[in-house]
Structure 1
Amino acid sequence: MIRNKWLWPALFVVPAVELFGFVLVSSYLGAPKTLLLLVFTSIIGLLMMRFEGKKVLQDSRQQMQEGQVPGRTMLDGLCIFFGGFLLILPGFVTDIIGFTLVFPLTRPLYRGFLLKWIEKKMKNGTFTLYRR
């Protein structure tokens, strides 16, 4: 059973918004150019995700070798992973959000929200950290 109160509405709202965006853009560009644009943005986004993901891995390895905990770098990795997932989904709204998650200049906005969410979950006991 899925308990997240936002998941079910998102399963209906996101496709509706993406369909509306597709219809709107295709009314200006035409359907073939709109499909080409969707494929192009997905390819560019996946390439960005790959590049930024490698950079985050290198940064986290370097921080661990220096004896530091790569906390911020791990949050960047989560943002890049989720952004890449959104870039794979077809649609303009998910592509825009995915690009902003993958792009290094806009990623700190999401990182701050993610950090506050994790802190809130840890304080109320719904997020548990396990160590080996």
Structure 2
Amino acid sequence: MTSGASSPTYPARPRRSRMRTFLPLGVAAWLVLEIWLLLLVADAAGGLAVLLLLVAGFVGGAAVVKRAGRRAFRNLSESLQRGTPPQSGGANGLTMLGGLLLMLPGLVSDVVGLLLLVPPVQKAVSAYTERTIDRKLRASVPGPLGDAFAQARMRGADGKVVQGEVIRDDRPGGPYDAGDDRPPLTG
């Protein structure tokens, strides 16, 4: 016996992004690699050497993060005292990231953290990141957030942000005449 009711239709599930697909696999591979390398070093140099290596990485990373944080705070307070906008903290951010990677237990993260402390590598990573973000913003669908980024990037010839222009019409019979409900703009 068949019924006249049809089965419900479900909307197609959106495709999963590559990042969501491969990120868990990449994290798992990274963890396995870190553990394998630590076991190799422990087999070759002993457990005490691995422990000292991990403690030295943590202490060194903490010192790097502390120094970069102090430098960022000093730059911010100096720019606030001068009344100028704070400068980009790309190098400080990458220095802090390098310190955090040094603090993580593992040899691969230590090598990547040490590479991020080298100024030419910081410059290359910063330029690549800026290009990638700029390309993604251009390709994104315009919306309130995209408009906000466009507003933030508009600058006049003198370097000041130009948000818009107000045109007043105070002549008699204009839109702000006595018969209009709206008050005139004061300026």
Q: TM-score surpassing 0.5?
A: yes
CA distance in 1: counterparts of 2:119 and 2:83, whole angstroms:
23
Name the CA shift for 1:69/1:125 in 2 (closer, same or farther; >3 Å): farther
Residues matched between the structures, number: 128
TM-score normalised to structure 2 length? 0.57
1:70: which partner in 2? 87
For residues 60-112 of structure 1, the C-alpha deviation after alignment (integer angstroms, 9 at most, x for no partner) is 443453524512x2x22332343233223210110111222245454223212
Of the two, which has the highest radius of gyration? 2
Matched residue of 2:43: which SS? Answer: helix
* Aligned residue type for 2:29: V
2:68: which partner in 1? 52
1:83: which partner in 2? 98
* Aligned residue type for 2:73: L
* Aligned residue type for 2:127: G
Mapping of 1:13-32 within 5 angstroms? Answer: 13-32=29-48
Gaps of 5+ in 1: none
Q: Percent identity?
A: 20
Q: Structure 1 or 2: larger helix share? A: 1
For residues 32-58 of structure 1, the C-alpha deviation after alignment (integer angstroms, 9 at most, x for no partner) is 211211111121121012112221332
CA distance in 1: counterparts of 2:93 and 2:79, whole angstroms:
17
* Aligned residue type for 1:19: I
Gaps of 5+ in 2: 1-15, 153-187
Q: 1:46·1:84 contact (CA, 8 Å) conserved in 2?
A: yes
**Offset of 1:27 from its aligned partner?**
2.4
Match of 1:117 among 120, 123, 132: 132
